[in-house]
Structure 1
Amino acid sequence: MTDDNALDDFDRRILRRLQVDARATGEEIGAEIGLSAAAVQRRIKRLRKLRVIAAEVAVLDPVAIGLPMTFIVSVELERERADMLDAFRKAVRADPNVQQCYYVTGAADFILIVLARDMADFEAVSRRLLFDNSNVRRFSTNVVMSRDKAGSVLPV
């Protein structure tokens, strides 16, 4: 981000508010931070253009939509060639059960956060992405016992 695109205190306050409630109006935000609704809307438009605001989405409760089980999966690949990494990334990005995928250092190559209806559903995901992939050397799975914090609000 260049100096012309630097975030000021008003931008940060707008971002904090939008992360908690993306449906907040310019009037509501403006009243809280001391700007006109038009000024807030101009700033939001600029933040979208700069891709500081990457998306505006509804955050769903996985349990409420029938996906009560969360799994943290460490994946070690057989080979770390660029084409093999890209193929694995493409497969996990396309799978709707995989909510997060991190390419990491350490013993594992990737860490996946996977949601499933039940163990049978997770087994289908693991077959599809892991067992049937000849480049997966091994993987280990942790079953989440309690979802104590799953955040989407960044400290701005």
Structure 2
Amino acid sequence: MLRLLLLLVIPLLIQACAYQQQTQPTHDMTSYRDSLADAIRSADTVRIIEQSHPLDTESKADSGKPRRIHRQVDLSPTATASLESSIRSLDPRAEDIRTRCAFIDHHAIQFRKKGTTTSTLLICFKCAAVRWDGSDRLPPKHLLSALHGSLVSQGFQPERDWAKLAEAP
């Protein structure tokens, strides 16, 4: 009886799983991509920042301290145009990737107008994730690759000894 039940139930489960995989929606992130490119183009200044994070040290006393800026660079008009171009050329499809990684944003890109930050894109290379306060949508699939190229071209490094930097005087 159990064998007969399994013979009937297993094919139904397989078919249900196959159906679920076929109906997974494809996320179109055209609006995210275009909004980010527009933020780059309309900014007076695009600033890349390398910063500390409260989790860089084990001391709980450090958790309330402001972040230490290790380095910041305002992009030249040529570098800004290059970043905008690389964002506009991204495939607008997105993957809904979940990670159990703690989001530790050691890099940020600020979009500024008249000396005021209009939005900030936070980057965690460890998680391969970004958070942008300019959109609540999923980012395009290869956004991190495009950002990586721009940061490296400006002399930034995705990985460093963050704990050592945090303890430096």
TM interval, shorter chain, is: under 0.3
TM-score by length of 1: 0.24
Mark the structure with the bigger radius of gyration: 2
TM-score by length of 2: 0.23
